[in-house]
Amino acid sequence: MAVKLTDAERMILVVLEKGPEPGGKKYRPAQSLVAKGYARWLEGGHLAQPHLQITDEGRQALETYYEENKR
């Protein structure tokens, strides 16, 4: 049975697969939307597909991005 992902979940999976750009802290522009959504998730929200797991590496990458780019 296929699981339909939301756009936000798809972007999170892209972040988890690709991580930060080589040689620096820059992330692709679409990831800023991921960071905002992930920030809401960290603050008590939830993913639409709660059974999806975020790896420790992916969580760290998103937390780092959020900390460096929050306003």
Domain boundaries, the chain: 32-71
The 10s digit of each residue's pLDDT in 13-49 is 555 545 555 555 544 444 555 555 665 555 554 544 4
Alpha carbons 51 and 22: distance in angstroms, whole number: 30
Q: How many CA atoms lie within 13 A of 6 on its CB side?
A: 12
Q: How confident is the model at residue 64 (pLDDT cuts 50, 70, 90)?
A: confident
pLDDT at 41: 56
In whole angstroms, give the CA distance from residue 7 to residue 39: 16
Of the listed ranges 8-12, 31-35, 64-68, the least confidently predicted one is 31-35
